[in-house]
Structure 1
Amino acid sequence: MQHAKRWLYLVHRWAGVVLCTFFAMWFYSGVVMMYVGYPKLTATERLEHLAPLRGAPIALEPADALRAAGMDGKPLADLRLAVASGGRAVYLLQPEGAPKRQPATVVDAATGEVLRSVDAGRATASAQAFAGASEGAPRHLGTLDEDAFTHSRALDAHRPLHRLALGDAAGTEVYVSGTTGEVVRDATRSERGWNYLGAWIHWLYPFRGNVFNAWWADIVNWLSIAGIVLTLTGTVVGVLRWRFTRRYKNGSRSPYRGFMMRWHHVFGLLFAAVTLTWIFSGLMSMNPWKIFDSGAPALRQQAMHGGPLVVPAQAASVQALLAAASPNTRELRWVRHAGHTLVLAASPTGAPAVLDAATAQAQTFNAQSLQDAAARLVAAPVARAELLRDYDLHYYSRAAHTMTGGGDKPLPVLRVVFADAHATWVHIDPHTGAVLDKSDTHRRASRWLFALLHSWDWAPLLASRPLWDVLLIVLSLGGGVLSATGVVVGWRRLVRPWRGTEQAAKVGAK
């Protein structure tokens, strides 16, 4: 028994020497992330910075752009029109079946020129259009493949990236796609500064974009596993050394006389549960070894939508579409949803206008026909379909700066539950007919084991702010004190033998 206890103490002591610094970083950076997230360009921000399409020089219709790109009559994965590249109105086209990271083909909507390269001049023009006429001339800071604020794999199709400073009061820098010329990310001076104390350090991004990049996920996973071992052994040691019914000779229930060791002991007992919860859920955020991948087949979206997107032979003109939409329309997007070829006319505020691609007339979906179409997404019967008018535990919205925020989570939403082996749920926007997301038992387990345990994003708690803020800050600071005292204790443990050796050497020299 004594031998087992000794090993327990040794494992906790030396694991703590290595890991307490990481624990302290995670706790304090987590507080920063509550208010400043990793830089991203949300869909709403992107639309806000695009110029209105009305009045833009647009000479080409979609069919003309397809011919210019050599895609005439071919099925498409995506077709957009926006003033999005070099300050010009352009079509962005993606053929059906193209690799996920293949960049879109860009066609100038005024001249029909296929824009194949993005030089510094075009990137600067994109940044100027993003900033608006009121700001000064952007300053080109060079090109890069990846830096501290562009680790997202969603940017892979846009690399290399042009980095430009807008010269505004906020010190904004933007990243322009090296393949399409679109602004794909923005970050203010404040965001960049706080991120070095927040997401960048919390996600161990010092190990990204360098020689450690290939092992980054393994580093995070194994540090988290070691952290779980440290927390469990520390909890057992803490309980074993705490006297619940009587006191030690020093008058305390803790045997430690030193300030740091005693507070480490006390805070360890008080915050062991939350520390274990956050380290474990942090591990779950990595989907380690793909434990949340169920192997379920992909949704049969073409079965629901009636085939891929093909621009109608008698398509409505761009001007007719713009006349039918809001004067503030910033982007037209051709889509194939639930058996209809449509155009979504998006503005920075509100839901997009949904127009028939052939007639430019407003399109609405019949509830039953949409459910019937959705039933074809999975090769299994529909267990139930329900219209959600409020968010719940599995379909909810977070603030744009958070890791899971900034996405499209409209209400009401149609939830279709299938009676398949994976218990698949699909959420569909009844306004546009778009499939918003899919989950199964594995992904819903991730929601519980990662998002809920890590962010405490339970709707009643989020609705009770600042209770949520106070609770998470107090728990984070408590865990931070536990970790910081562990760092001091570990440092003393490492330095003590060295100092003893140094003092012995001095005595010997005398």
Structure 2
Amino acid sequence: MKRYLYLWHRWLGIGLCLLLALWFFSGVVMLYVGYPKLTPAEHLARLPPLSAQGCCVDLGAALQAAQREQAPSSIRLSSLAGRPHYLLGYRDAGSVAVDARTGQRVVPNLELLVASAEQFDPAPAQYLGSVWEDAWSHSRALDHERPLHRIQLQDRDARLLYLSGQTGAVVRVATGDERLWNWVGAWLHWLYPLRGGVLDGAWGWLVTSLAFAASLMCLAGILVGLLRWRFAKPYRSGARTPYKGIARWHHLLGLVFGSLALTWVVSGWLSMNPWRLFEHPQALSSAAYQGGPLLPEAFALGTGEALARFNSDGFVPREIEWRRIGGQGYLLARDGAGAVRLLDGDGRLHRRLEPQALARAASAMWPAGTLQVDTLETYDAYYYGRAEHSMLGHLDKPLPALRLRFDDPASTWLHLDPRSGALIEQLDERRRVYRWLFNLLHSWDWLPLLERRPLWDGLLISASLGGLLLSLSGTWLGWRRLRPRKPSARRRAASRQ
């Protein structure tokens, strides 16, 4: 049995140690440079203020111009090329832009795309053509905007803009530094070289399989390391390990960092949600919280009236979103700094909604059970923010927030933003387990460390360097075993006889 354990570790290591080294190195890069994205703050800061003058056709006319049978899943009034436009999102049919002044549906052309880029940044620009997907646009969140048009800005940060082929809006930004570092960061860490080619359809399966095999390699290595270490009586040489040279260092590094390597690889494997482990079959539907489709009759005030009402209160919106909460229609406005105001059907402005009203709306998701409502004034283990460049750092986690606990079969928790009524996240019992198995073990998302960034950085980098040295030493040993060996002097003499 021991022999098979040694052989499994040896040959899995020969095949995977270099991959593990790349994972450790790219993981350190990702601590400081994330995959390109357009953050909500950057998006709002680049929009001009919405003006009530000459605006706008009513919502019903905009929906009619979209020529879609289904109700939209999202409705926003934003600016394209310096003009107000309705941006309508549909779950199964992409996005649509309608000029809010003329009521005409917009089909992006080169003139609109260049003007939209100039709205984002007036720097000189070069149109690079369209792509369906490339190295910096693999995110599934962009699927409803494809194909994507690329425009290169000649600014200080060498920004590459991605614009929606459906609406012409800027949907992703990749700076020159982000593109440079991501070649050895997220692009490498997530094995994106396998995306976009003949292996594209098998990317998820390949990543999952490689991570699972690497987990077996690490586990076998830990067992081999413990079996070969003399805890009681040293070897004849006086050492506790039988190995010499690089093999000795690999043994020692494995004893110290092997468990860390195993937890990182296993948690990375779990991030791919193998066998849908973290999807609960009885998850609650968020549609009940909304309480009805986004149709014009749900909103009493017209767009022009709403803009005038916001302006009269001294609030200058840059974007307005139509949403329903418990069946009631609200218009949510955001200014350039990210501040929000809610306008109800009676024309009243709200800085935040009452917790009881939000709880009543959410109770429709599980009307047969009981509901516990808590107000979060500080972050805790399940609700916390991350740095903007991190994988989930663009998600707004405001305080205070509401936590609603249901007694449904999935033991669901909801986090709600009382400022906007937004359903921030839904955590059932499986997602809470995922929080520990991935977010804690892989990213070390533990508040006492996250609140002490120099300590968090130092520990993660030190552990990553240990894992990198462990992987590189294994790579060296694998290469040495595979390389052609020169015959010994005794064998050369025997062959001449």
TM-score, scaled relative to structure 2: 0.93
- Deviations along 1:311-352, one digit per CA (max 9) or x if unpaired, are 247524424144146554210111112342111111232431
* Residue 70 (structure 1) shift: 4.7
- 1:74-153 correspondence runs (5 A): 75-83=71-79, 85-94=80-89, 98=90, 100-115=91-106, 117-131=107-121, 133=122, 135=123, 137-153=124-140
Change (3 A) 1:218 1:305: closer
Indicate which of 411, 415, 418 corresponds to 2:399.
411
Q: Check if 1:307 corresponds to 2:292.
A: yes
Say which SS state the counterpart of residue 408 (structure 1) adopts. coil
2:283 and 2:428 in contact (8 A); partners too? no
CA shift, 1:71, in A, is: 6.9
Cα distance change, pair 419–55 in 1 and its aligned pair in 2 (3 A): closer
**Matched residue count:** 493
Pick aligned residue for 1:31 from 22, 28, 32: 28
Q: Closer, same or farther in 2 for the Cα pair 1:15/1:309, shift >3 Å?
A: same
1:259-408, aligned counterparts within 5 Å? 260-299=246-285, 301-302=287-288, 304-312=289-297, 314-318=300-304, 319-324=307-312, 328-357=316-345, 359=347, 361-362=349-350, 364-408=352-396
Question: Structure 1 residues 322 and 430, CA, compared in 2 at 3 Å: closer, same or farther?
Answer: closer
1:161 aligns with 2:151: no
Instruction: Tell me how far apart the structure 2 counterparts of residues 176 and 164 of structure 1 sit (CA, whole Å).
Output: 8
Mark the CA change 1:239 to 1:360 in structure 2 (over 3 Å): closer, same or farther: same
Change (3 A) 1:279 1:103: same
Rounded Cα–Cα distance in structure 1 between residues aligned with 2:216 and 2:78: 52
Cα distance change, pair 164–268 in 1 and its aligned pair in 2 (3 A): same
In structure 2, distance between residues paired with 1:158 and 1:128: 19
Q: 1:25 is aligned with what amino acid? A: L
Amino acid in structure 2 at the alignment position of 1:35: Y
Deviates further, 321-330 or 341-350: 321-330
Which residue type is aligned with residue 484 of structure 1? L
Judged with a 3 Å threshold, the aligned counterparts in structure 2 of structure 1 residues 56 and 290 are, in CA distance, closer, same or farther, namely farther
User: What is the rounded CA distance, in whole Å, between the counterparts of 2:277 and 2:422 in structure 1?
Assistant: 28
Aligned to 1:52: 49
Q: Which deviates more from structure 2 when the two are superposed, residues 449-458 or residues 341-350?
A: 341-350
Q: 1:220 to 1:366 in 2, by over 3 A?
A: same
C-alpha offsets along residues 133-184 of structure 1, whole Å, 9 cap, x if unaligned?
A: 3x2x210111111111111111111111111111101111010011111111
Q: 1:184 aligns with which of 159, 162, 171?
A: 171
One-letter code of the match for 1:93? L
CA contact (8 A) 2:59 2:302 kept: no
The code of the aligned residue for 2:190 comes to: W
CA distance in 1, matches of 2:291, 2:18: 55
Measure, in 1, the Cα distance between the counterparts of 2:313 and 2:393: 28
In the TM superposition, residue 308 of structure 1 has moved relative to its aligned partner by: 2.3
User: What is the rounded CA distance, in whole Å, between the counterparts of 2:451 and 2:300 in structure 1?
Assistant: 49
Distance (Å, rounded) in 2 between the aligned partners of 1:143 and 1:485: 44
**TM-score normalized by structure 1?**
0.91
Query: 1:500 deviation in Å?
Result: 4.6
Gaps of 5+ in 2: none
Match of 1:443 among 414, 431, 451: 431
Correspondence 1:449-460 to 2 at 5 A = 449-460=437-448
**Which SS does the other structure have where 1:354 is aligned?**
strand
Greater mean deviation of Cα atoms: 289-298 or 474-483: 289-298
Asked if the contact 2:12/2:217 (under 8 Å) is kept, the reply is yes
User: Is contact 2:131–2:149 with CA below 8 Å preserved after alignment?
Assistant: yes
What secondary structure sits across from 2:114 in the alignment? helix
Corresponding letter in the other structure for 1:155: L
- Show the 5 A alignment for 1:420-439: 420-439=408-427
Which runs of 5 or more residues in structure 1 are unaligned? none
Deviations 1:194-222 (A, max 9, x none): 11111111111111111111111111111
Retained in 2: the 8 A contact 1:329–1:346? Answer: yes
Counterpart CA distance in 1 for 2:374 and 2:125 is 49
Q: CA deviation at 1:118?
A: 2.0
Report if aligned partners of 1:20, 1:486 keep a CA contact under 8 Å in 2. Answer: yes
- Structure 2 distance, partners of 1:256, 1:265, is 8
> 1:226 pairs with 189, 213, 231, which one?
213
Check conservation: 1:387, 1:413, Cα contact below 8 A: yes
Instruction: Out of 288-297 and 371-380, give the one that drifted further.
Output: 371-380
Q: Could you tell me how far apart the structure 2 residues matched to 1:215 and 1:324 are?
A: 55
The alignment yields a C-alpha RMSD, in angstroms, of 2.5
Deviations 1:243-277 (A, max 9, x none): 2234334442221222x111111101110110111
Is the Cα–Cα contact under 8 Å of residues 105 and 180 in structure 1 kept in the other structure?
A: yes
Q: 1:423 to 1:154 in 2, by over 3 A?
A: same
Q: Distance in 2 between matches of 1:490 and 1:325?
A: 70
* Percent identical residues: 44
Q: Is the 8 A contact 1:382 1:416 kept in 2?
A: no
Summarize deviations over 1:327-380 as a string: whole Å, max 9, x none.
542101111123421111112324311112452644753332322222112243
For the residues of structure 2 that align with 1:146 and 1:179, how far apart are their CA atoms?
Answer: 15
Distance 1:70 1:236, change over 3 A: closer
CA distance in structure 2 between the partners assigned to 1:20 and 1:403 by the alignment: 25
| Counterpart residue type for residue 104 of structure 1 | S
Task: Tell me the CA shift for residue 66 of structure 1.
Answer: 3.1
Tell me if the contact between 1:281 and 1:454 (Cα under 8 Å) persists in the aligned partners: yes
